[in-house]
Amino acid sequence: MKSYDTLLLALVFIPLGTALVAVMLPPAHRRWAVLLGGLGWSCVLIPLSAAVAREQTLTLVFGGWSPPLGIGWRLDALGLIVLWVHALVGIAALPGAWQRFKPERPESGPFWSLWLILATGVNLAILAADLFNLYVALELTTLAAVALIATDDGIAALAAAMRYLLLAVFGSLMYVLGVGLVYAQTGSLAMHQPGLVELNNVALVLMLTGLMVKAAIFPLHVWLPHAYSNAPGPVAAIMSAVVGKVALVALWRVWFETAADPPALLSNLLGLIGAAAIVYGALAAYLQPRLKMVIAYSSISQFGFLLLLLPLACQQAFQGAGFHLLAHGLAKASMFLAAANIVTVLGSDSIRHLPGLDKRMPLEAFTLALAGVTLIGLPPSGGFTGKWMLLSAAWQVQGWFWMVLIMLSGLMSAAYVFRVLALTCFHPARRAVHHLHAKPPKITSLAALLLALLAVVIGLFPHPVLDLLGSGVPGAGP
């Protein structure tokens, strides 16, 4: 038993256990299970970070059964970054969710149970060390996410949840088909031994397609805008920050750590898909009539950057993509939380209602602006550091096309961010809204603002994260 085994177990079993307890407890006491489940596993990350910094990768094999029949877990620097995003966003989303689904109300039991099961699924997917357990964890995550979207109970939310479920099942089907072919060919399901598993291209493409559906990469993104924009705000925050990212991290792992020598043609093709996602997402975000749709399409655009790692494939690109994942997760979650408050007060998130918002809800307007700075990638922010590392990686491998793309993408992000900000702050027709609903408690606004601030502050002090990522490059060249 190694010193960190219990910590790794706590990451999954605290949210899982409290999820089961939360439905069984009487409503009056449910809050304790929610608090323990929501905050408990996040505290474990502090000693785990020290362990990852010391040993780089932590492994755990259950019950002495060796893989493939046994189950193994593994945590590396990249996984730790995703877990930190998950923890921070989960804590920041808690007040908003608490406000909307008060734990002491009897009917909110299922919501909190699902909330904790989603956390379990995400943590499990990060820890999974073989291809099949990754599938199980991704299914758990998807089912919990679909159910959470459907808690809104309107036609739009139910239809969005249904569409997401059908596409996600199709995606996981593709993925398992690929996994089956890998096993048939090699007799192994291990994820982290590059070269040991020699993937054939059919299996690789099937697995990548399945994961791209789950991560909502551009041509397979159709479920994302409706799912994110119809979900309750805190759920949308968690989903945009981690649920899609988990599938993308899985894609990186399949690519860099499982596939022996993926063909260059395929890596360039995936890079081009990422480029198309960046352009399409930004254009669509610019045209949306609803604030939450703008934020959702912006996610599609920003997910595209994470695919650029495949053609760039060097240490700097890995650090850049990991950092971008962190910064974008924090910024996007803060935007969804702020948008949820705006919907609560205005009763709508149509951007026609935004003019004059900076006077009525200054904290939310400031949060949107601050998170927008990170999305565009303006210098002091975390988004800048991520894009700058990607840019210098493109310089290093002499990928001029990728360089131009990354620079232009800043402009395109600026277009949709400034459209929202200009309408909010500078539009001449600052109409009076006749019917304002009661403001949500200030702590929900502050939580969103804190996330947006954090996304900027990590840009000022990027070195701990970059050093951590730099130490654990997964087979990504020099």
In the set 32, 40, 91, 427, which binds other proteins (CB under 8 A)?
A: 427
Residue 176 in the binding site for other proteins (CB under 8 A):
yes
- Strand locations in 32-89, DSSP E? 58-61, 72-75
Nearer to other proteins, 142 or 385 (CB): 142
Site for other proteins in 352-371 (CB under 8 A): 352, 354-355
* SS3 call for 61: strand
Burial (CB count within 10 angstroms: exposed 0-12, middle 13-18, buried 19+), residue 179 = buried
Task: Tell me the window of 20-28, 42-50, 89-97, 224-232 that interacts with other proteins (CB under 8 A).
Answer: 224-232
Nearer to other proteins, 153 or 261 (CB): 153
Q: Which two tokens stand for residue 125?
A: 């997917």
Cα–Cα distance measured from residue 459 to residue 140, given in angstroms and rounded to the nearest whole number: 33
| Start-to-end Cα distance in the chain | 34
Cα–Cα distance measured from residue 116 to residue 20, given in angstroms and rounded to the nearest whole number: 9
In the set 94, 97, 160, 237, which binds other proteins (CB under 8 A)?
A: 160
Q: How far is the CB of 70 from other proteins (least distance, A)?
A: 11
Residue 434 in the binding site for other proteins (CB under 8 A):
yes
Q: How far is the CB of 226 from other proteins (least distance, A)?
A: 5
Residue 107 in the binding site for other proteins (CB under 8 A):
no
Sole residue written with tokens 């904290």: 363
Contacts of 420 by beta carbon, 8 Å cutoff, 6+ apart: 291, 294, 351, 354, 368, 372
Residue 154 in the binding site for other proteins (CB under 8 A):
yes
Cα–Cα distance measured from residue 389 to residue 130, given in angstroms and rounded to the nearest whole number: 30
Nearer to other proteins, 222 or 266 (CB): 222
Residue 287 in the binding site for other proteins (CB under 8 A):
yes
Contacts of 71 by beta carbon, 8 Å cutoff, 6+ apart: 61, 62, 65, 130, 133
CB atoms under 10 Å from CB of 201, counted, come to 12
Q: How far is the CB of 432 from other proteins (least distance, A)?
A: 9
Nearer to other proteins, 181 or 378 (CB): 181
Q: Say which DSSP state 439 is in.
A: P
Task: Tell me the window of 170-178, 213-221, 243-251, 457-465 that interacts with other proteins (CB under 8 A).
Answer: 170-178
Q: What interhelical angle do 315-346 and 244-253 show, nearest 10? A: 170
Nearer to other proteins, 258 or 381 (CB): 258
Residue 187 in the binding site for other proteins (CB under 8 A):
yes
Site for other proteins in 379-408 (CB under 8 A): none
Residue 124 in the binding site for other proteins (CB under 8 A):
no
Residue 230 in the binding site for other proteins (CB under 8 A):
yes
Nearer to other proteins, 83 or 243 (CB): 243
Cβ pair 373, 421 in contact under 8 A: no
Residue 73 bridge partners (DSSP): 60, 128
Residue 36 in the binding site for other proteins (CB under 8 A):
no
Residue 63 in the binding site for other proteins (CB under 8 A):
no
Residue 127 vs residues 5, 114, 314, 330: alpha-carbon distances, Å: 12, 20, 24, 21
Q: Which two tokens stand for residue 453?
A: 């601030």
How big is the site for other proteins, counted in residues (CB under 8 A)?
Answer: 57
Contacts of 80 by beta carbon, 8 Å cutoff, 6+ apart: 45, 48, 49, 52, 468
Nearer to other proteins, 95 or 178 (CB): 178
Residue 46 in the binding site for other proteins (CB under 8 A):
no
Q: How far is the CB of 46 from other proteins (least distance, A)?
A: 34
Cβ pair 282, 298 in contact under 8 A: yes
Burial (CB count within 10 angstroms: exposed 0-12, middle 13-18, buried 19+), residue 433 = middle
Task: Tell me the window of 103-111, 163-171, 362-370, 444-452 that interacts with other proteins (CB under 8 A).
Answer: 163-171
Residue 132 in the binding site for other proteins (CB under 8 A):
yes
Q: How far is the CB of 146 from other proteins (least distance, A)?
A: 7
The footprint of other proteins (CB under 8 A) covers: 68-69, 132, 136, 139, 143, 146-147, 150, 153-156, 158-163, 165-166, 169-170, 173, 176-177, 179-181, 183-184, 187, 189, 225-226, 229-230, 284, 287-290, 293, 348-352, 354-355, 419, 423, 427-429, 431, 434
